[in-house]
């Protein structure tokens, strides 16, 4: 059986830099514990999620992990240029060694 993490990086009242660093460590711990995948959602203008650009956040997570598979739960396609999104996802694929 494979276990994964579905995450909303919700507003906690802490400074965002601190919150993001803690969340990256959280995913690194899940990686060390053998979780299969980590997914983060994209939301805008809501306290329910503080990650409006999943690729940037997952790039940071990729640098702190080695095995856990990474994925955005959604990309709000009308907000992206198709070429720009393909480039972002392609770069993330390379940064994570295909995870």
**Pair 70, 99: CB distance under 8 Å:** yes
Cβ atoms of 59 and 20 closer than 8 Å: no
Per-residue pLDDT reduced to its tens digit, 50-89: 999 999 999 999 999 999 999 999 899 999 999 999 999 9
Total tally of structural domains belonging to the chain: 1
Chain-centre distance for alpha carbon 81? 20
Which parts of the chain fold into alpha helices (H)? 16-32, 54-64, 82-95
Token pair listed for 18: 């601190």
Q: Residue 97: what pLDDT? A: 95
Range of the domain at 8: 4-95
Q: Give the per-residue pLDDT at 29.
A: 99
Amino acid 11: pLDDT: 84
Percent of all residues in the chain with a pLDDT value above 90, rounded to a whole number: 82
Average pLDDT over residues 7-19: 90
Residue 93 pLDDT > 90, yes or no? yes
Cα 76 to Cα 55: distance, rounded to the nearest angstrom? 12
């Amino acid at each position: 059986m494979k276990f994964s993490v579905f995450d909303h990086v919700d507003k906690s009242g802490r400074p965002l830099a601190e919150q993001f660093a803690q969340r990256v460590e959280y995913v690194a711990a899940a990686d060390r514990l053998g979780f299969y995948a980590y997914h983060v959602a994209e939301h805008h203008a809501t306290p329910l999620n503080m990650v409006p650009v999943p690729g940037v956040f997952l790039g940071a997570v990729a640098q702190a992990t080695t095995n856990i598979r990474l994925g955005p739960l959604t990309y709000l396609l009308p907000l992206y240029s198709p070429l720009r999104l393909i480039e972002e996802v392609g770069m993330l694929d390379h940064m994570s060694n295909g995870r």
